Protein backbone atom coordinates (compact mmCIF):
# COMPACT_ATOMS: atom_id res chain seq x y z
CA UNK A 1 0.00 0.00 0.00
CA UNK A 2 1.54 3.34 -1.00
CA UNK A 3 2.03 5.97 1.67
CA UNK A 4 -0.26 8.95 1.65
CA UNK A 5 0.02 12.56 2.71
CA UNK A 6 -2.83 14.10 4.67
CA UNK A 7 -3.47 17.61 5.88
CA UNK A 8 -5.42 18.56 8.99
CA UNK A 9 -5.12 20.98 11.89
CA UNK A 10 -2.38 19.65 14.14
CA UNK A 11 -0.22 21.44 16.67
CA UNK A 12 2.60 19.19 17.94
CA UNK A 13 3.44 21.66 20.70
CA UNK A 14 0.18 20.88 22.51
CA UNK A 15 -0.04 18.31 25.30
CA UNK A 16 -0.40 14.72 24.10
CA UNK A 17 -4.10 14.51 25.00
CA UNK A 18 -4.86 17.58 22.85
CA UNK A 19 -2.82 16.15 19.98
CA UNK A 20 -4.92 12.98 20.08
CA UNK A 21 -8.09 15.08 20.23
CA UNK A 22 -6.97 16.86 17.07
CA UNK A 23 -6.54 13.53 15.31
CA UNK A 24 -9.95 12.32 16.51
CA UNK A 25 -11.54 15.53 15.25
CA UNK A 26 -9.89 14.99 11.85
CA UNK A 27 -11.28 11.45 11.76
CA UNK A 28 -14.75 12.64 12.77
CA UNK A 29 -14.77 15.33 10.10
CA UNK A 30 -13.63 12.91 7.40
CA UNK A 31 -10.28 14.61 6.83
CA UNK A 32 -8.43 11.37 7.52
CA UNK A 33 -9.46 7.72 7.46
CA UNK A 34 -9.93 5.95 10.80
CA UNK A 35 -7.11 3.47 10.15
CA UNK A 36 -4.69 6.28 9.35
CA UNK A 37 -5.86 8.17 12.43
CA UNK A 38 -5.15 5.10 14.53
CA UNK A 39 -1.61 4.96 13.14
CA UNK A 40 -1.07 8.65 13.93
CA UNK A 41 -2.39 8.24 17.47
CA UNK A 42 -0.11 5.23 17.93
CA UNK A 43 2.87 7.28 16.72
CA UNK A 44 1.97 10.11 19.12
CA UNK A 45 1.82 7.59 21.97
CA UNK A 46 5.15 6.06 21.05
CA UNK A 47 6.84 9.45 20.85
CA UNK A 48 5.28 10.44 24.18
CA UNK A 49 6.69 7.30 25.81
CA UNK A 50 10.14 7.97 24.38
CA UNK A 51 10.08 11.55 25.64
CA UNK A 52 8.95 10.40 29.10
CA UNK A 53 11.78 7.87 29.25
CA UNK A 54 14.31 10.50 28.19
CA UNK A 55 12.99 12.95 30.78
CA UNK A 56 13.20 10.35 33.54
CA UNK A 57 16.76 9.47 32.52
CA UNK A 58 17.77 13.12 32.65
CA UNK A 59 16.13 13.62 36.04
CA UNK A 60 17.79 10.49 37.41
CA UNK A 61 21.19 11.65 36.19
CA UNK A 62 20.69 15.00 37.94
CA UNK A 63 19.67 13.29 41.18
CA UNK A 64 22.63 10.91 41.01
CA UNK A 65 25.01 13.81 40.40
CA UNK A 66 23.61 15.64 43.43
CA UNK A 67 23.95 12.50 45.57
CA UNK A 68 27.63 12.14 44.65
CA UNK A 69 28.45 15.77 45.42
pLDDT at 63: 95
Say what the pLDDT of residue 1 is: 62
Return all residues near 27 (Cβ < 8 A) that are at least 6 apart. 33, 34, 37
Q: Which pLDDT score, from 0 to 100, does residue 4 have?
A: 77
Rounded to 5 degrees, what angle do the CA atoms 18, 14, 36 make?
55
Rounded distance, CA 25 to CA 42, Å? 16
**What region, left, alpha or beta, does residue 30 occupy, with left being phi > 0 and alpha being psi -120 to 50 degrees?**
left
Query: Rounded to two decimals, what is the model's pTM?
Result: 0.81
Each residue's pLDDT tens digit, 22-57? 999 999 999 999 999 999 999 999 999 999 999 999
Amino acid sequence: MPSQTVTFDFDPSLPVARQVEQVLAAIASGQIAPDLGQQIVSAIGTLSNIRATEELSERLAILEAKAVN
